[in-house]
Amino acid sequence: MNVPERLNHCWSKVAQRKPLVYHVTNFVAAPYQADLCLAIGASPIMAPSEEEASEMVQAADVVLVNIGTPTAQSMETIRTAMKTAADTGTPVVLDPVGYGATARRIALVDEILQRYPVAIVKGNSAEIALMAGCHGGLRGVDATGMCRSDNAVFRLARKYGTVVAATGKVDYVSDGNKVLEVHGGSDMMEKITAGGCAVGSLLAAILGASGDALAAAIAGLIAMGVASERAMEPGPGSFKTSIIDQLYGMSRTGLGEIEGRLRLQDRIAG
Q: Which residue ranges are tagged as binding site for ATP?
A: 122, 167
Task: Answer yes or no: are the C-beta atoms of 33 and 198 closer than 8 Å.
Answer: yes
Query: Binding site residues, as ranges?
Result: 46, 122, 167, 194
104 vs 77, 96, 101, 218, 255, CA distance in Å? 15, 12, 9, 30, 38
Do β-strands 20-24 and 43-46 pair in parallel, antiparallel, or remain unpaired?
parallel
3-class secondary-structure state, position 83: helix
Give the chain's radius of gyration (CA, Å).
Answer: 17
The b/e string for 66-84 (b: 16+ C-beta within 10 A; e otherwise) is bbbbbeeebbebbbbbbeb
Distance CA 230, CA 145 (A): 27
Distance CA 60, CA 39 (A): 18
Backbone angles phi, psi at 167, to 5 degrees: -95, 150
Please tell me the total number of residues recorded for the chain in this structure.
Answer: 270
Query: Binding site residues for substrate, as ranges?
Result: 46, 194
33 membership: H or E segment, kind and range: helix 30-40
Distance CA 58, CA 130 (A): 32
